[in-house]
Amino acid sequence: MTTPWSDLRCIACARRYPATEVRYRCDCGDLLEVRHDLNRLRAESPDLRRRFDERRSIQTGPHASGVWRYHELVLPDLPIDSVVTCGEGNTPLYASAALSAAFDTADLALKHEGENPTLSFKDRGMTSGVSWAQHLGVSHVACASTGDTSAAMAAYAAHARGLEAVVFLPHEKVSPEQLAQPIVYGARTLALDTDFDGCMRLVQAVCERHPIYLLNSMNSFRLEGQKTIGLEVCQQRDWRAPDWFVIPVGNAGNVSALGKGMLEAHALGLIDRLPRIAGVQAKAADPLYRGFQGGFRERVRMDAGETLATAIRIGDPVSHDKAARIIQRFHGVVESVEEAELMDAKAAADRAGVAVCPNSGVALAGLRKLRAAGTIPADASVVVILTAHGMKFSQVDVAYHTGALAHCPPTHPNAPEPIAASIEAVCSTLGLG
């Protein structure tokens, strides 16, 4: 047997466990992360940049995926032929004069992770998480979700061999589009009379007692796929990291993964400097922001209040400790925004032709605030991660533009105009005389 490339390591006490052991926490109670042997990778593959660049011209098979292009950095112990992929990643960077003007940032790009197979960035983590689950030979996978994790898990489980999926959703707290996804992909869909944090506690308890593999982001193998967002952005920018990444934060897995990927890319010489990272939360659920205000000396937990950013309505983020370390390591900041601010920012990007979800609107509103405060200077290169597609939340869009959201009056409403089906009515409405 060859020496494995990766193991699991505790982020607090550094204790190690084999990667093939099913465990989500260290015996000391803290979070685990997947550690790859980067020295060996550097020695055996000194030409990683070129290899990754060459794979960009591949059109089919696992290496064509925007996750598995970086196979050596994601799950090197998993044979490339046994990954479960839907061709995720390879998402665009939107940049335009209109977007730059709307956010007062000359060098701005929006990384649209909503253009993934199930319309959110969760596909990147699920391709690695479900591939690992299949590799371990488990029969059942489960997750709690604010809507997008369950959609992704259900889809990838349907692509895998012999994997049954069970999702735990907070009843009536996900959008109709998000609810439809696990149903059509054949997952057992439990709608629980609680919030996300309640679902999270329950799914952990069930997975502890029964042989069901937990695929929330406390499963470190998901973060390995998720971190490729940052790698792909750097590769799209000719291996230059932006000055800033701006990212919405819920359970804090994404921000933790992004940072981990950047540290590894830096250690391997793929990029020559590290970006800074800004995490942004909605005021109704901003425990990481509150912790940041206190220098992360204390972990803040809260009951999440109502917000249109339902995918990040989380009061007790599972990856809190990882995220706090990453924010500090990257000289990062955490910002918090109001409902009207996030909807205004979302509407501005929508108007520029990019379909933004309310959760990503949180990141864009955070950018506005950080620009106004001068934390992010006008000449900085900035990449904002858009986490899901706007069309997963179409009810919010219609409500906003028809003025049905009392606390978020639209700045530029564009409601449909009901008129008679006659040439006169059309011409007079359009002012054509």
Shorter beta-carbon distance to Zn ion: residue 25 or 50: 25
State the number of binding residues for ligand PLP (CB under 6 A).
Answer: 17
d(CA 21, CA 301) in angstroms, rounded, equals: 30
Positions 248 through 267 that interact with ligand PLP (CB under 6 A): 248-254
x/- letters, 309..328, toward ligand PLP (CB under 6 A): --xx----------------
Shorter beta-carbon distance to Zn ion: residue 12 or 191: 12
x/- letters, 134..153, toward ligand PLP (CB under 6 A): --------------x-----
Summarize as ranges the residues that interact with Zn ion (CB under 5 A): 10, 12-13, 15, 26, 28, 30
Residue 249 interface partner, choices ligand PLP, Zn ion, none, CB cut-off 5-8 Å depending on type: ligand PLP
From residue 304, alpha-carbon distances to 143, 174, 378 in Å are 19, 15, 33
Shorter beta-carbon distance to ligand PLP: residue 271 or 357: 357
x/- letters, 220..249, toward ligand PLP (CB under 6 A): ----------------------------xx
From residue 68, alpha-carbon distances to 32, 38, 94, 197, 300 in Å are 22, 17, 23, 31, 36
d(CA 141, CA 370) in angstroms, rounded, equals: 39
Closest separation between CB of residue 39 and ligand PLP, Å? 29
- 3-state DSSP call for residue 279? strand
Evaluate whether 109 touches 210 at the Cβ level (below 8 Å). Answer: no
Residue 268 token pair: 């391997």
| Sheet arrangement for strand 32-36 | 16-18, 6-10, 32-36
Residue 26 interface partner, choices ligand PLP, Zn ion, none, CB cut-off 5-8 Å depending on type: Zn ion
Residue 3 token pair: 């020496």
Query: Using the rule CB under 6 A, is 359 a contact of ligand PLP?
Result: yes
Closest separation between CB of residue 10 and Zn ion, Å? 3
Query: Using the rule CB under 6 A, is 357 a contact of ligand PLP?
Result: yes
d(CA 24, CA 254) in angstroms, rounded, equals: 17
DSSP class of residue 118? T
Shorter beta-carbon distance to ligand PLP: residue 6 or 216: 216
Positions 361 through 390 that interact with ligand PLP (CB under 6 A): 387-388
**Who's near 419: CB < 8 A, 6+ residues apart?**
425, 426, 429
From residue 184, alpha-carbon distances to 179, 205, 266 in Å are 9, 26, 41
Contacting positions for ligand PLP (CB under 6 A): 120, 122, 148, 217, 248-254, 311-312, 357, 359, 387-388
